[in-house]
Amino acid sequence: MLLFLIVIIPVLGAVLSVLLPVRVRGIANLAAHGGVFVLAAVLAYHFSVGNGVLVFGGVLRADALSAFFVFLISLVNLAALVYSRPYLREDVFAGVLSEKQVRGYDILFNVFAATMLVVPLLDSLGHMWVAVELTTLASAFLVGFYNSKSSVEAAWKYVIICSVGITLALLGTVLVYHAVAAQTGLKTLDWSVIIVQAPGLDPRVIGAAFLFILVGYGTKAGLAPMHTWLPDAHSQALTPVSALLSGVLLKTSLYAIIRFAMITQKAMGADFTSRLFIFFGLFSVAVAGIFLLAQKDFKRLLAYSSIEHVGIIVFALGVGTPLAVFGALFHALNHAMSKSLIFFAAGNAVKRYKTHHLHMIHGLVRAMPFTAGAALVGLLSLVGMPPFGIFMSKLLILTACFQKGLYGPAALLLFFLAVVFGGLMFHLGPSIFGKKPKGVVSGGEAFSMKLVFVVLALFLVFLGVVMPTPLRALLEAASRTITGVGI
């Protein structure tokens, strides 16, 4: 029932957004996503105290891994919702958006949230594929929301490139289906059934399937070299949506990859997936680092940083020890929060300075102190400075890497991370502390935005200093689900 509620509430939110007038709509949406967050936290807590599996109606299924992703998605959803209120109000006030468009935004936001929340809760790999494709379709209009030349172009590239990727993932799914049917005679795509049969499946077919899956879902996850849609979509989308795309949409695809990787590892040993993960992970971090150095656009800069972090997570999955997987999941959580925080700050800055150009956004600290603070915390967190959570998760991943004796990959990763560090610091330092251009007014940040900034920043510091026991237990359980071994 819990699982069903988590999925159905945003759907109801979408329906209510169609019916209700503006004021009530805001409260209803807040209540809906607050409710989903609480339910997700209950679900996460359930799996942190004891293991097991929850099912609903033969379609929905949750284990510790799903619970973690649902928690992550609901958290960023709630933050984005709270932030988007004042953000859209300003646009309406400035005459950029109409009330009708804001209603459209509310509907799409809820549909997008529902599709993302359902991905980790579906048992059938076929349904999961449909849900992932629906996330693209639901968010396409949010990327092309302003209907300008560049946003329509970004939305087009986003839909087309991601759909091609997803189509390849469908091919991979069909191959897995074929392998299962050929081996056992079972006509099923249910993950829970396939994982039991996995050791007997034809390793060659499964290997070929995994290649399609990795390239397919990897496109959506933003792995280089299939990442080309990502900077466009992230920079053109509405800012709360950029945060959602970067913070959680990429991770839902990663979730799909993880599920298939588990099958593949059982069918043909861990080496195959491990090598692929490490290669794509390192390559993504490297590509992101190079493009970061040459960036001029604030939001594109952050988009490339997302590619880097997805690279780190995939790298950690490639290392594959329980500690590394624990670090990968923890990193996903930290990245989602840091990236939301800094995207929100970037959105404010872009609006105030009326430009995306980094060399024109200077002296944020004088124009918008809270936003500047958020940008600074986000920046320091993203590059991996203590005392923020990302420092801890990177440390865990590198420790696991050294423990396993992967010195070469670890060294390469550290080198690329240093490049990224330089790129981000070089670009964002002046934006935060430089000289404020004349004509940019100071102050005037909405209360709810400040609230989101402070809460997210405190969360990040908190996670860097102490690891709450339930979260730790949940991550351990999820890591055990993936690797089959405890830490």
Partner 1 sequence: MMTLFFLTGILVLTYAMLVCHRIPALIQNFRLQSLFLFLVTLDFAVRHREAKVFVVAGLLLLVKVILIPSFLSRLVKKIKVDERLGLFLNPLLSLISALFLTWGASVFCSWFLYTRQTAVFAAFVVSITVVLVGFFIMVFRMKALSQIVGLLVMENGIFLLASVMAGGMPFFVEIAIAFDVFVCAIITGIFMYRINKVFTHIEVHRLTDLKG
Kindly list the residues in this chain that would bind partner 1 in the complex (CB under 8 A): 124, 126-127, 129-130, 133-134, 137, 140-141, 144, 147-150, 152-157, 159-160, 163-164, 167, 170-171, 174, 177-178, 181, 187-189, 202, 204-205, 207-208, 231-232, 235-236, 291, 294-296, 300
Q: Could you give the CA distance from residue 372 to residue 380 in angstroms, rounded to a whole number?
A: 12
Closer residue to partner 1 in complex, CB, 359/414: 359
Give the nearest distance from C-beta 229 to partner 1 in angstroms. Answer: 10
- Crossing angle of helices 270-293 and 407-433, in 10° steps, is 30
Closer residue to partner 1 in complex, CB, 42/290: 290
CA distances from 224 to 35, 49, 229, 274, 318 (A): 36, 37, 11, 17, 16
Q: Could you give the CA distance from residue 437 to residue 459 in angstroms, rounded to a whole number?
A: 32
Helix H or strand E encompassing 54: strand 54-56
CB atoms inside a 10 Å sphere around CB 443: 9
Closer residue to partner 1 in complex, CB, 204/354: 204
Beta strand 60-62 with 54-56: parallel, antiparallel or unpaired? Answer: antiparallel
CB atoms inside a 10 Å sphere around CB 357: 11
Q: Amino acid letter at 181?
A: A
CA distances from 352 to 308, 346, 373, 435, 436 (A): 28, 10, 16, 15, 12
Closer residue to partner 1 in complex, CB, 18/186: 186
Q: Could you give the CA distance from residue 395 to residue 316 in angstroms, rounded to a whole number?
A: 11
Give the nearest distance from C-beta 228 to partner 1 in angstroms. Answer: 10
Closer residue to partner 1 in complex, CB, 144/347: 144
Phi then psi for residue 357, to 5 deg, are -70, 130
Scanning 223-321, the segments in alpha helix (DSSP H) are 229-236, 239-244, 250-268, 270-293, 298-319
Give the nearest distance from C-beta 56 to partner 1 in angstroms. Answer: 15
Closer residue to partner 1 in complex, CB, 123/476: 123
Closer residue to partner 1 in complex, CB, 155/262: 155
Dihedral sign for Cα atoms in the order 465, 78, 311, 361:
negative
Give the nearest distance from C-beta 178 to partner 1 in angstroms. Answer: 5
CA distances from 363 to 298, 375, 434 (A): 14, 12, 4
In degrees, rounded to 5, the angle at the alpha carbon of residue 347 between the alpha carbons of residues 346 and 352 is: 95
CB atoms inside a 10 Å sphere around CB 38: 12
Closer residue to partner 1 in complex, CB, 145/391: 145
Give the nearest distance from C-beta 242 to partner 1 in angstroms. Answer: 14
Closer residue to partner 1 in complex, CB, 216/281: 216
Residue 262, by phi and psi: left (phi above 0), alpha (psi -120 to 50) or beta? alpha
Give the nearest distance from C-beta 213 to partner 1 in angstroms. Answer: 13
Give the nearest distance from C-beta 277 to partner 1 in angstroms. Answer: 21
Give the nearest distance from C-beta 57 to partner 1 in angstroms. Answer: 12
Q: Could you give the CA distance from residue 357 to residue 76 in angstroms, rounded to a whole number?
A: 26
Give the nearest distance from C-beta 308 to partner 1 in angstroms. Answer: 16
Closer residue to partner 1 in complex, CB, 83/291: 291
Closer residue to partner 1 in complex, CB, 14/75: 14
Give the nearest distance from C-beta 241 to partner 1 in angstroms. Answer: 16
Give the nearest distance from C-beta 429 to partner 1 in angstroms. Answer: 21
Dihedral sign for Cα atoms in the order 119, 347, 84, 82:
positive
Give the nearest distance from C-beta 466 to partner 1 in angstroms. Answer: 41
Closer residue to partner 1 in complex, CB, 48/306: 306
Q: Could you give the CA distance from residue 47 to residue 474 in angstroms, rounded to a whole number?
A: 6
